[in-house]
Amino acid sequence: MTAPVGLTTTLAPSTVAITGTISDPEGYPLAGILVALFANGRDEGVRVETATTDDIGGYRFTRIHTTVGDDYRVETTDPSGAHVFSRSIVTITSGPTTTHHRTVQVAGHIQGTVTTRDAHRLQSGTEVCVTASGVGAVHAVNVSARGRFRIGGLPAGEYALTFHDSNPRSAAAPPVLVTVAAGRTTTIEDQVLPPR
């Protein structure tokens, strides 16, 4: 049935499901990936629901009250750091289910050891925060009690590592440039933060 000329047809909201599979670049499904759904904006928005992929990489959001043509943002995070964080847009289609599959890239890692030096001895840099800054990705971790750190989830590319010690007695170290490759761990030389 065609609407009369001059009248606008308004689509009524309905309850739908959004479902899909998260896979790696080889097509293997990924279990344990955190999937978050955001509404009301392509950039910020409001988080509507979260899910974790099952053994065959599947996720499903149910009872989403929406309208055909609405946009939602889907974000994926691998808690293990083995795969890169991803963000994509899904547009609601007609019917009870909208399908949205995603392929996420394999991540690289950076690891190393940080110590601080005072007037008498070396000790683990337990108050140090290490930040990896690259194009489109910034990741930061705190150094462990043994002075070690490991940063995962990094897209392949060039990164500058910076070291910030909350102890005011330590001086800043110069940035360390690191090349990260997908699926590989890069171990940097031990870093020693000198006293001020």
Backbone conformation region of residue 114, classed left if phi is above 0, alpha if psi is from -120 to 50, else beta: beta
State the fold for domain 14-103.
Immunoglobulin-like (2.60.40)
pLDDT greater than 60 at residue 119: no
Residues 100-127, mean pLDDT to the nearest whole number = 83
Residues 139-155, mean pLDDT to the nearest whole number = 93
The lowest-confidence range among 17-26, 29-38, 126-135, 157-166 is: 126-135
Q: 131 is written with which tokens? A: 């930040």
Asked whether the beta carbons of 30 and 52 are under 8 A apart, the reply is no
Residue spans in the chain of domains classed CATH 2.60.40.1120: 108-193
Q: What is the pLDDT of residue 116?
A: 81
pLDDT greater than 50 at residue 167: yes
Q: Across the chain, which distance is largest between two alpha carbons, in Å?
A: 88
C-beta atoms surrounding 97 within 10 Å: 12
Residue spans in the chain of domains classed CATH 2.60.40.10: 14-103
pLDDT greater than 80 at residue 144: yes
Q: What is the pLDDT of residue 111?
A: 97
Q: Hey, which CATH number is domain 108-193, 1.10.760.10, 1.10.3720.10, 1.25.40.10, 2.60.40.1120?
A: 2.60.40.1120
pLDDT greater than 90 at residue 83: yes
Q: What strands, in cross-sheet order, belong to the sheet with 128-134?
A: 137-142, 128-134, 157-165, 176-180
* Cα separation, 68 vs 12, whole angstroms: 8
Asked whether the beta carbons of 163 and 110 are under 8 A apart, the reply is no
Asked whether the beta carbons of 196 and 168 are under 8 A apart, the reply is yes
Cα 129–chain centre separation: 19
